[in-house]
Amino acid sequence: MITRIDLRGRSLSARELAETLPRAEVGVEDAAHQVAPIIEAVRTRGAEALREYAERFDGVRPEHLRVPADAIAAALADLDPAVRAGLEEAIRRVRLVHAAQRPQDFSVELGPGARVRQRWVPVRRVGLYAPGGLAVYPSSVVMNVVAAQEAGVRSLAVASPPQRDGAGLPHPTILAACALLGVEEVYAVGGAQAVAMFAYGAAGSEPQDGDVLCEPVDVVTGPGNVFVAAAKRLVRGVVGIDAEAGPTEIAILADGTADPGHVAADLISQAEHDPLAAAVLVTPSVELAAAVEARLTDLVPATKHAQRVAQSLAGPQSAVVLVDDLEHGLQVVDAYGAEHLEIQTVGASELADRVTSAGAIFVGPWAPVSLGDYMAGSNHVLPTGGCAHFSSGLGVHSYVKAVQVIEYDRDALEELADRIVAVANDEDLPAHGEAVRARFL
Ligand code: NAD
């Protein structure tokens, strides 16, 4: 069911390790070739192309690409009270954590009359994606919207795929989550086409769309399958994006003290997202490895999405990796750079502080990834495919930019004039120096 990779006694460089560790066969690069024409079609043909792709990929032609306000209100009115209570608790906790993320402005005095300040400014408008293909993700609405709101963004739009059995609207719980958060601009658009609509905007094609269906945004964020991640890579530069948050990954670093039942359940919980999801156990304990493999064999056929889970666990992106000891395990998980890393070992907290590449780290037996998926307060939109080596999960920082403000008075500039001229002339840009000199003639 799941491959074993035995790294015991092998001393590999970081590059060799990265090549040896499991990764999905269909990567973002491959998907990018498939989604490039979708982006071009939405850019040039707007809503007409959006309806065509909804029919092709989601099996429904939405009458309203922009969800009417009464449908959003009705979804909240019909929401199961237990689900509403869960979403409200998630919103409360995620808001607390994200309010604490707001970066501080600062001001540095470099001498009398010489000051540089830095202000953090939210972007004007954002497009937030909530997946809705194999599963639906109102939790992703919470993660995107709360982070953007806490950053101070004023204009927020949400997109999620139209559902076949919902008259071409996004799933009702997605709409209800938008209503709970006060988001009024919601689109029944999925996948790469949603990312393209946000990046370039879209003209309407039916009277109910109006002339302009959607105005372009400054930043597109949110998780999705490999096509969504590929589309975000392709529009980066036209707009800002968060990390590539594609098919989910769980890596678990565990020793012989871990409960094999918990480890197996956590691997399955992430495998149920997507046949391309990755589940990786890294352990120095052959006994734990064998016990987890046995539990997987028992548990997978009984789980609701058994076929998807089995595909994910059997795929080249999933494995049980045997290592010499926990130090070796730490090197391996750092080289992998998982979206989610669970540490179920003796001294888990100390090990967690030594990890350098992971989207989020879940410490000890009582912090499973499912907690973070919904309600820990942390954000569940996290970098995949090794992007954790250079990028962070979604947060307030994803929606703000730093603007530096330079204030020098006459004396402060005059003090530097000769030095500026010397460096400018050395760069063969003498007009730069002359612009300073001109002020003191
Ligand atoms: P989705 O909304 O991401 O994808 C559905 C859309 O995919 C469809 O609307 C369609 O437009 C597009 N699509 C499907 N087949 C296509 C094809 N052949 N070519 C082009 N486009 C195609 O929903 P999903 O499929 O359920 O995937 C959700 C994903 O989000 C999972 O992979 C899950 O692991 C991931 N996820 C990631 C994170 C993270 O932070 N990394 C968090 C939550 C979920």
pLDDT at residue 384 in the model: 95
pLDDT at residue 14 in the model: 81
283 in a labelled binding site: no
User: What span, in angstroms and rounded, lies between the C-alpha atoms of 224 and 242?
Assistant: 12
Q: Are residues 253 and 321 in the same domain?
A: yes
Measured distance between the N- and C-terminal CA atoms of the chain, rounded to whole angstroms = 80
Q: Are residues 216 and 253 in the same domain?
A: no
| Helices 138-151 & 172-181 angle (0-180, nearest 10) | 20
Name the nearest CA neighbour of 356 among 392, 398, 394: 392
Closest ligand 1 atom to residue 129 Cα is 2
Complex ipTM = 0.98
User: What span, in angstroms and rounded, lies between the C-alpha atoms of 240 and 384?
Assistant: 17
Pick the catalytic residue from 98, 171, 262, 340.
340
Q: Are residues 153 and 280 in the same domain?
A: no
Closest ligand 1 atom to residue 228 Cα is 3
pLDDT at residue 88 in the model: 98
Q: Give yes or no for residue 222 CB within 6 A of ligand 1.
A: no
Q: Is residue 401 part of a domain?
A: no
Neighbour-count burial of 100, counting CB atoms closer than 10 A to its CB (0-12 exposed, 13-18 middle, 19+ buried): exposed
| Helices 172-181 & 69-77 angle (0-180, nearest 10) | 100
Q: Give yes or no for residue 230 CB within 6 A of ligand 1.
A: no
Closest ligand 1 atom to residue 53 Cα is 11
Tokens of 42: 């939405």
User: What span, in angstroms and rounded, lies between the C-alpha atoms of 124 and 154?
Assistant: 6
262 in a labelled binding site: no
Mutating to test ligand 1, I would choose from 26, 34, 57, 267 the residue with most ligand atoms within 8 A of its C-beta, which is 57
User: What span, in angstroms and rounded, lies between the C-alpha atoms of 56 and 40?
Assistant: 16
212-214 vs 3-6, strand pairing mode: unpaired
Digit-by-digit pLDDT tens for the chain (441 residues) are 899 999 999 989 888 988 899 988 778 999 999 999 999 999 999 999 999 999 999 999 999 999 999 999 999 999 999 999 999 999 999 999 999 999 999 999 999 999 999 999 999 999 999 999 999 999 999 999 999 999 999 999 999 999 998 789 999 999 999 999 999 999 999 999 999 999 999 999 999 999 999 999 999 999 999 999 999 999 999 999 999 999 999 999 999 999 999 999 999 999 999 999 999 999 999 999 999 999 999 999 999 999 999 999 999 999 999 999 999 999 999 999 999 999 999 999 999 999 999 999 999 999 999 999 999 999 999 999 999 999 999 999 999 999 999 999 999 999 999 999 999 999 999 999 999 999 999
- The structural domain count of the chain equals 3
pLDDT at residue 336 in the model: 95
Name the nearest CA neighbour of 54 among 159, 148, 140: 159
pLDDT at residue 392 in the model: 97
Q: Are residues 359 and 420 in the same domain?
A: no
User: What span, in angstroms and rounded, lies between the C-alpha atoms of 103 and 381?
Assistant: 19
User: What span, in angstroms and rounded, lies between the C-alpha atoms of 166 and 179?
Assistant: 17
Q: Are residues 154 and 259 in the same domain?
A: no
Q: Are residues 136 and 206 in the same domain?
A: yes
Instruction: Tell how far the Cα of 211 is from the centroid of ligand 1, in angstroms.
Output: 29
Q: Are residues 92 and 38 in the same domain?
A: yes
Instruction: Tell how far the Cα of 130 is from the centroid of ligand 1, in angstroms.
Output: 9
Q: Is residue 392 part of a domain?
A: no
Q: Are residues 223 and 351 in the same domain?
A: no
Pick the catalytic residue from 244, 272, 339, 342.
339
Q: Which of 187, 217, 239 is the last residue of a domain?
A: 239
| Residues 101 and 227 sit within 8 Å (Cβ to Cβ) | no
Other residues' Cβ atoms within 10 Å of the Cβ of residue 327: 12
Q: Is residue 93 part of a domain?
A: yes
185-188 vs 155-160, strand pairing mode: parallel
| 389 included as an active-site residue | no
Q: Is residue 404 part of a domain?
A: no
User: What span, in angstroms and rounded, lies between the C-alpha atoms of 12 and 19?
Assistant: 10
pLDDT at residue 24 in the model: 81
Q: Are residues 226 and 87 in the same domain?
A: yes
- Which residue segment(s) compose the domain that 76 sits in? 26-239
Residue 317's domain is classified under what CATH number?
3.40.50.1980
Instruction: Tell how far the Cα of 441 is from the centroid of ligand 1, in angstroms.
Output: 64
User: What span, in angstroms and rounded, lies between the C-alpha atoms of 57 and 52?
Assistant: 9
Q: Are residues 224 and 102 in the same domain?
A: yes
Instruction: Determine which residue's CA is closest to atom 38 belonging to ligand 1.
Output: 223
Q: Is residue 427 part of a domain?
A: yes
Q: Are residues 194 and 273 in the same domain?
A: no
Q: Give yes or no for residue 192 CB within 6 A of ligand 1.
A: yes
Q: Is residue 388 part of a domain?
A: no
| 272 included as an active-site residue | no
Instruction: Determine which residue's CA is closest to atom 1 belonging to ligand 1.
Output: 131
Q: Which of 207, 239, 271 is the last residue of a domain?
A: 239
pLDDT at residue 15 in the model: 84
Mutating to test ligand 1, I would choose from 141, 169, 225, 378 the residue with most ligand atoms within 8 A of its C-beta, which is 225
pLDDT at residue 19 in the model: 86
How far are the Cα atoms of 352, 376, 407, 411 from residue 116, in angstroms, in the given order? 37, 38, 6, 16
User: What span, in angstroms and rounded, lies between the C-alpha atoms of 174 and 163?
Assistant: 11
Q: Give yes or no for residue 133 CB within 6 A of ligand 1.
A: yes
pLDDT at residue 167 in the model: 83
**Single-letter code of the amino acid located at 305:** H
Q: Is residue 382 part of a domain?
A: no
pLDDT at residue 313 in the model: 98
273 in a labelled binding site: yes
Q: Is residue 429 part of a domain?
A: yes
Phi and psi torsions of 375, nearest 5°: -140, 5
Q: Give yes or no for residue 370 CB within 6 A of ligand 1.
A: no
Q: Are residues 14 and 85 in the same domain?
A: no
Closest ligand 1 atom to residue 382 Cα is 40
User: What span, in angstroms and rounded, lies between the C-alpha atoms of 384 and 338?
Assistant: 7
98 in a labelled binding site: no
User: What span, in angstroms and rounded, lies between the C-alpha atoms of 357 and 387?
Assistant: 9
Entry pTM: 0.96
Q: Which of 217, 239, 261 is the last residue of a domain?
A: 239
